[in-house]
Amino acid sequence: GPVAETFRVIQGAVTEEYVRSTQGVFQFELSGDGGGTWYIDLKTKDGSAGFGKPPVTADVVMSMSSADFVKMFT
């Protein structure tokens, strides 16, 4: 779905430079189609993004609809 595709694109865009300059972990609590807990880890090793809880405690937790999440990132 659109949420999974958005995270796939984010994962492909994560670079060591983004991780080095950001040093943050973002958790998204999404409602609606494709919802659930998702994360972007720009703190650990090479960074990562995907479904489920982040590998370390999130610095920021955002709650929104999956539709708003997709709009925010596209």
Which sign, positive or negative, has the C-alpha torsion 18, 19, 24, 29? Answer: positive
CA-closest candidate to residue 37, choices 47, 50, 24, 48: 50
Which CATH number goes with the domain that contains 38? 3.30.1050.10
Instruction: Give 49's strand partners.
Output: 40
Residues 47-57: tens digit of each pLDDT? 999 999 999 99
The predicted structure's pLDDT at residue 37:
98
| Run of H or E residues at 7 | helix 2-13
Cα–Cα distance between 64 and 74 in angstroms, integer? 15
Which sign, positive or negative, has the C-alpha torsion 6, 31, 19, 73? Answer: positive
The predicted structure's pLDDT at residue 4:
97
The number of domains in the chain is 1
- For residue 67, give its domain range: 2-72
Average pLDDT, the chain: 96
Q: What is the mean pLDDT of residues 65-74?
A: 95
The predicted structure's pLDDT at residue 3:
97
The predicted structure's pLDDT at residue 72:
95
